[in-house]
Amino acid sequence: MTDVSAPSPTGRSAYRINLVGLVGLTVVLFWAVVAALAPYLIPHSVGEIVDTDYFGPMSRELWFGSDYLGRDMFSRIMMGARYTVGISVVALTLAGFTGIVLGMIAAVSGGWLDMILSRLLDALNSIPSKLFGLVVVAAVGSSIPVLIVTLSVIYTPGAYRFARALAVNVNTMDFMVVARIRGESIFYLIGAEILPNILGPVLADLGLRFVFIVLLLSGLSFLGLGVQPPYADWGALVRENIGGVPYGAPAVIFPSLAIASLTISVNLLIDNLPSKIRDRGAEA
C-alpha cells in the first residue's frame, strides 16, 4: 500500500489546506459551536416578544431585527442552528454508516449478496428524494425522529454506491489477495484493508451529502413538513417570516443567509481539501 504520509516533493506538507478551505472550515466550525452552545449564547428566550413592532429593523438591541411576532431573530437563528445542524449531522451519520458498511460488505462478499443489496438500494435511489420525503412526512407526521430516519433512508443508497465502487477497486489489489490467502475474516478485510484506503474520498462524499441533507431539511421545513413549532430550524424561520419579503425584512434575509453560509462553506472546504486526503483511495 502507498504511504500517503510522505512529504511532497516541494518539501511542504501534502496535507496543507489553502486559504479558501480555511475560510470554509472556519465558518463550518463557527456554526458547529453555535449549534452546541446556542442556549448559552442567545440574549433573549426564543419565545419572548421583545419588540412592539413586527418585522422590526436591525438595531443595537436586536442585531437581526424582529420576526412577525416581535421576537428576537438573532436568538431564533442561533437556536435554529441546533435543529438544522443537529438533525443533519445525525441523519448523515446514520446514512453514512449504513451505506458505507453495506457497500464494503457487498464489495468483499460479491455474488448474490452484492446483487440483492445493489438492486434494493438502486430501486430506493430511483425515487426522487424530495417526493419520498414529502410522502413519508405527510403520511407519518412530522417529528424530529421521523425527519432523521427519513433523511438517512434517502441518502443511504448514494453512500452505498459510492463506497461500494471504491471498495470494489481496492478489493482487486494484491494485498487483498494476500490477506485472503492468510485466511483473514471479512471483518478484518473491511476494517483493516478496505476502510483505511477509501476513507478520504468517502469523507469528502459525506460532506457533499451533508449539504444535500441541509437543503432537503430546509425545503421540508419551508413547506411546513419539517421541524414543527414551538421549535424552528432555518427553513421554518424563512417560512414563518415570508410575509416580510415585500418589506425587505431582516427576519427573512438572515435565516436564508445562514443556510447559504453553511452549505457554501462546506462546499468550499471539500473543494479545497488537500489532494492527499481526497485521492487517498485512488493512490492505495
pTM: 0.85
In 3D space, the residue among 22, 67, 25, 30 whose CA is nearest the CA of residue 49 turns out to be 67
* DSSP string over 152-184: HHHHHHHHHHHHHHHHHHHHTSHHHHHHHHTT-
- How does residue 216 score in pLDDT terms, banded at 50, 70 and 90? very high
Give CA 196 to chain center in angstroms: 21
> pLDDT, tens digit, for every residue of 112-151?
888 999 899 988 888 888 888 888 888 888 888 999 999 9
β-partners of residue 72 are 66
**Burial (0-12, 13-18, 19+ Cβ within 10 Å), 69:** middle
User: Domain spans of the chain?
Assistant: 34-283
pLDDT of 125: 85
Superfamily in which the 34-283 domain is placed by CATH: MetI-like (1.10.3720.10)
What is the pLDDT, as a whole number, of residue 282? 42
Q: What is the pLDDT of residues 191-211, one digit of tens each?
A: 888 888 888 889 888 988 999
- Which triple of cell numbers denotes residue 26? 472556519
